[in-house]
Structure 1
Amino acid sequence: MGSSFRKFCCCCCCNDDDDDEEKQTLIPQDPLEYIDREAQKRRDQETNLWSEPGDPSHSEREDDRTLYTLIQARHKTRMGSSGYRRLSVDIEAMRDTRREVRDKWKTVLENLGFMAEADSLLTVSASASYDRMRNAPAARSLLQSLHSETSIFNTKDPPPERYLFILDRLIYLDVAEDFVAKARRFYPPRDDEEEECTGLGINLPLLLARVEAMNGRGDEDEDEDESGKEDGNLSDRA
């Protein structure tokens, strides 16, 4: 397993070397600026676990679009306001759901013996490209099997594409079938009633509608907060 994983890492490095010339044209004159920007991308990926990691606009999938819209709305909302707090709750709820899925994958990988390599195998960068995949059709078939035959994903919505890249790696390491078999044992499919009881499903249209409504009355919320504080101060003085 160790030699296969090292081989996988080496091949990844070779693929990166093939694009050195292209990267040179994208690197700004200030190397520190480039390093900071790339580090921010990695932090953003690990924080939000985008379902479509290669989509910089975060608009191709509804769940990514919803999360991105919530984050952007919070950037425009006064910190500490009630609107800011509501947005933070919604953002963390979506992130928690994504982290739970990732933790399930990590549990299965560690059970397969990838104790030290699990985090590396689960890391998908923003530069992930379908063109670089070695076994895309097989990976997609296994992803659909996981989606329909296990509860490793939290909803019946289409599975996140980020896990397609991970399965492609597992196929290369010749452990993909073992992973799916373990996932079936660890996370058998739930019936509809069990899924409703988990409370993990997120109503994306409702979240978007809430953000739009908040954007329309954001100033009013802040005014209410301020007036509430003033009323409280008056009552204290009284």
Structure 2
Amino acid sequence: MGSAFMKFCCCCCITSDNDDEDDEKQPLLPPDPLEYFNREVQKRRDEETNLWSEPGDPSHSERKDDRVLYSLLQARNKTPMGSTGYRRLSVDIEAMRDTRREVRDKWKQILENLGFMAEADSLLTVSAGASHDRMRNAPAARELLHTLHTETSLFSSRQPPPERYLLILDRLLYLDIAEDFLAKAKRFYPPTDNSEEDEPGLAINLPLLLARVEASMNGKGNEEESEDDSGGEGNLSDRS
């Protein structure tokens, strides 16, 4: 009886120990699928709203214009909503977004003119997961991007063309419509003089925007609010 009881106790102990080990080996609970889905949807919405020039750069620091826009967004997040500084930053953020949307709209217009009415939006969508390594014909795409930059007015001549359009051109090359796109772009948007880029919507004053961000992050923007309220709320972009 004693030996049987000892065996029972030992079995219980072993079972208990094994249970503890099994508990330790249990995988961590997966994240809430709904939360993950909502986060991905928000990320995709942010990408389409900001149209990052370097979509594959999660830090948004490789290109100057991306760095300025990201800094403006970060500064606004730290500024009291409804304040003069918040409104001023919002104006500059929307100015940069509008400029990027104008470029995208030009590309969409050309694609639709080529007959891609239903496919234009998907062809122009570039996610943060896009990679140059997956491009099928990177050299030809880069050459075409350079031609579009120098021989059309699709982009501002003051800045290098956004890399996101390199990935889009690679798609057009794969579909064998890149040359047709180039011909339409030259026809619809011929090159213009640099002086014409002073028109609203075609240029953003990045150095002045950077100065505004730095002032806001250092708290100087709040000190100047009373003065700005009396003198108007002008923004530092080249848009009116």
TM-score (normalizing by structure 1): 0.79
Question: For residues 151 and 32 of structure 2, what CA distance do their matches in structure 1 show?
Answer: 49
| 1:115-138, Cα deviation, whole Å (9 max, x unpaired) | 110001000011001111101111
Alignment partner, residue 112 of structure 2: 110
Percent of pairs identical after alignment? 76
| 1:32-80, Cα deviation, whole Å (9 max, x unpaired) | 2221121111101110000000111100000000000000100000000
Question: For residues 204 and 184 of structure 1, what CA distance do their matches in structure 2 show?
Answer: 28
Paired residues for 1:187-202 under 5 Å = 187-198=189-200, 200-202=202-204
Question: For residues 76 and 197 of structure 1, what CA distance do their matches in structure 2 show?
Answer: 32
TM-score (normalizing by structure 2): 0.79
| 1:150-194, Cα deviation, whole Å (9 max, x unpaired) | 001134310000001100000000000100010000000001222
Question: For residues 196 and 223 of structure 2, what CA distance do their matches in structure 1 show?
Answer: 40
| Aligned mate of 2:223, from 213, 217, 220 | 220
Question: For residues 141 and 52 of structure 1, what CA distance do their matches in structure 2 show?
Answer: 18
| Aligned mate of 1:45, from 37, 44, 47 | 47
Alignment partner, residue 133 of structure 1: 135
Paired residues for 1:121-160 under 5 Å = 121-160=123-162
- Superposed CA RMSD in Å reads 2.0
| 1:3-52, Cα deviation, whole Å (9 max, x unpaired) | xxxxxxxxxxxxxxxxxxxxxxxxx5322222112111110111000000
**What one-letter code is carried by the residue in structure 2 that aligns with 1:135?**
N
Alignment partner, residue 16 of structure 1: none
3-state DSSP of counterpart to 2:181:
helix
The range that moved more, 194-203 or 140-149, is: 194-203
Paired residues for 1:59-208 under 5 Å = 59-198=61-200, 200-208=202-210
| Aligned mate of 1:55, from 45, 57, 60 | 57
Alignment partner, residue 4 of structure 2: none
Larger radius of gyration: 2
For the 8 Å contact 2:75–2:213, the answer to whether it is kept is yes
* Count of residues paired in the alignment: 200
Residue 218 of structure 1 and its aligned partner are, at CA, apart by 4.1
Question: For residues 53 and 201 of structure 2, what CA distance do their matches in structure 1 show?
Answer: 20
**What one-letter code is carried by the residue in structure 2 that aligns with 1:76?**
K
Unmatched runs of 5 consecutive residues or more in structure 1: 1-27, 229-238
**What one-letter code is carried by the residue in structure 1 that aligns with 2:100?**
R
Structure with the higher fraction of residues in helix conformation: 1
Question: For residues 145 and 156 of structure 1, what CA distance do their matches in structure 2 show?
Answer: 15
**What one-letter code is carried by the residue in structure 2 that aligns with 1:110?**
E
For the 8 Å contact 1:143–1:167, the answer to whether it is kept is yes
For the 8 Å contact 2:153–2:190, the answer to whether it is kept is yes
Unmatched runs of 5 consecutive residues or more in structure 2: 1-29, 231-240
The range that moved more, 152-161 or 141-150, is: 152-161
3-state DSSP of counterpart to 1:50:
coil
Alignment partner, residue 18 of structure 1: none
